[in-house]
């Protein structure tokens, strides 16, 4: 049986008195590329923030490789949306990547040789080693996405958690990024990503979950062909072109 890396059970989150997540159950296995899909306001970011320990759930558990609480959050490699990073900050690619070790190092300890070795290894894994000394301002959108992934990989996390990694990237860059995700998954890293690109997720992910405050469906892309679950989750009619695009049409 495959090893479950991320195990979320009966998670309930309330923000400002409103229940945002209800009884969320989700399991991601080792080496799996998992897509979390849902409309605007479905609770995707809330779920990621709860996994990172930034929001305290009112009920339920989150465990990563059997660990919970802060230890579980330490095993997650979070990759924020590119727009959440100050790209005009005057630092090099290697300096951005080493900042992924800040939590481990503490703010006042300088990185030493083994830390820089980890930085170069992470850059190698995302095929950006030769960019180590470049200022981050000079990078393209696809290159930025890669070094954010390197920054998350530098702690050797059990699972990468990516918030909308494909947004704003052209098709060839999306394809290269997908190949990178598949390579990381084949090396044993699990990946959980949110995305609004549903067709792309169905083509690339091993497993997907649909979210609308609660998990409305989960399975392999081939198992999610029932148009009703897409109509209910995304509030579209049976005439929506989305269903044809997803191949979710009644036989
Ligand atoms: N701090 C907060 N206090 C109260 N409500 C919040 C807070 N943060 C988010 N929400 C609400 O929680 C719901 C889920 O928001 P969330 O950002 O998690 O959705 P999302 O699926 O990531 O959406 P999008 O695809 O638009 O990014 C929304 O209705 C939002 O208004």
Give the number of the atom of ligand 1 that is nearest the alpha carbon of residue 47: 18
Residue 251 pLDDT > 60: no
CA of 172 to the centre of ligand 1 (A): 31
Residue 109: what pLDDT?
75
- Quickly state the pLDDT bin for 250 (edges 50, 70, 90): low
Q: Where is average pLDDT lowest: 56-65, 77-86, 121-130, 234-243?
A: 234-243
Q: What domains sit in the chain, N to C, each tagged with a CATH number? A: 1-75+158-220 (3.40.50.300), 86-156 (no CATH)
Ligand 1 atom nearest 43 alpha carbon = 18
Q: Which residue has the higher pLDDT, 102 or 109?
A: 102
154-184, pLDDT tens digit by residue? Answer: 999 999 999 999 988 888 888 888 999 999 9
User: How far is ligand 1, taken at its centre, from the CA of residue 82, in Å?
Assistant: 19
Mean of the pLDDT values across residues 123-140? 94
Confidence of residue 27 (pLDDT cuts 50, 70, 90): very high
DSSP per-residue codes, 75-125: TEEEE--GGGS-TTSS-BHHHHHHGGGHHHH-TTSPP-HHHHHHHHHHHHH
Average pLDDT over residues 55-69: 94
pLDDT, residue 2, reads 79
Stretch 130-136: mean pLDDT, rounded? Answer: 96
- Digit-coded pLDDT (tens) for 6-25: 999 999 999 999 999 999 99
Buried b (16+ CB within 10 A) or exposed e, 195-233: bebbebbbebbbbbbbbbbbbbbbeebeebbebebbbeb
Q: What is the mean pLDDT of the chain?
A: 91
If pLDDT is split at 50, 70 and 90, which confidence band does 246 have? confident
pLDDT of residue 145: 92
Instruction: Flag whether pLDDT at 1 surpasses 70.
Output: no
Q: Which two tokens stand for residue 87?
A: 């790209």
**Closest residue by CA, ligand 1 atom 5:** 15
Q: Is the CB of 46 under 6 A from ligand 1?
A: yes
One-character DSSP codes across the chain: -PPEEEEEEEEEEEETTEEEEEEEEEEEETT-EEEEE--TTSSHHHHHHHHTTSS--SEEEEEETTB-HHHHHHTEEEE--GGGS-TTSS-BHHHHHHGGGHHHH-TTSPP-HHHHHHHHHHHHHTT-GGGTTSBGGG--HHHHHHHHHHHHHTT--SEEEEESTTTT--HHHHHHHHHHHHHHHHTT-EEEEE-S-HHHHHHH-SEEEEESSSEEEEE-GGG---HHHHHHHHT--TT-HHHHHHT----
Q: Residue 68: is its pLDDT beyond 80?
A: yes
Six-digit token pair at 189?
A: 């890293």
The pLDDT, as a whole number, for residue 210 is 96
Residue 141 corresponds to which tokens in the numbers above? 């959108």
Contact 153, 75 (CB under 8 A): no
- Ligand 1 site, residue 157, Cβ cutoff 6 A: no
pLDDT for 138 equals: 95
On the question of pLDDT at 249 being above 70, the answer is: no
> Residues 216, 200: contact at Cβ < 8 Å?
no
Say what the pLDDT of residue 170 is. 87
Q: Hey, whose CA ends up nearest to atom 10 of ligand 1?
A: 15
Distance from C-alpha of 190 to C-alpha of 65, rounded to nearest angstrom: 11
Q: How far apart are CA 125 and CA 143, in angstroms?
A: 13
Residue 155 CA, chain-centre distance (Å), reads 16
Confidence grade of residue 102 (pLDDT, cut at 50, 70, 90): confident
pLDDT score of 148 more than 70: yes
């Amino acid at each position: 049986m495959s090893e479950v890396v991320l195990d979320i059970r009966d998670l309930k989150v309330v923000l400002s008195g409103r229940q945002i997540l209800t009884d969320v159950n989700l399991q991601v296995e080792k080496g799996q590329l998992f897509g979390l899909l849902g409309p605007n306001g479905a609770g995707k970011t809330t779920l990621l923030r709860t996994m990172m320990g930034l929001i305290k759930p009112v009920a339920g558990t989150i465990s990563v490789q059997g660990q919970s609480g802060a230890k579980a959050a330490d095993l997650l490699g979070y990759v924020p949306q590119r727009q959440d990073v100050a790209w005009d900050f005057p630092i090099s690619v290697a300096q951005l990547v080493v900042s992924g070790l800040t939590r481990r190092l503490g703010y006042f300890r300088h990185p030493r040789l083994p830390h820089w070795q980890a930085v170069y290894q992470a850059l190698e894994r995302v095929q950006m080693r030769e960019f180590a000394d470049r200022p981050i301002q000079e990078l393209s959108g696809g290159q930025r996405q890669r070094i954010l992934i390197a920054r998350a990989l530098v702690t050797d996390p059990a699972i990468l958690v990516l918030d909308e990694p494909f947004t704003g990237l052209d098709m060839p860059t999306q394809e290269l990024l997908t190949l990178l995700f598949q390579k990381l998954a084949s090396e044993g890293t699990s990946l959980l990503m949110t995305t609004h690109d549903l067709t792309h997720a169905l083509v690339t992910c091993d497993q997907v979950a649909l979210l609308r405050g609660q998990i409305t469906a989960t399975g392999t892309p081939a198992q999610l062909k029932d148009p009703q679950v897409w109509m209910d989750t995304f509030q579209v009619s049976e005439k929506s072109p989305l269903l044809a695009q997803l191949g979710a049409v009644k036989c």
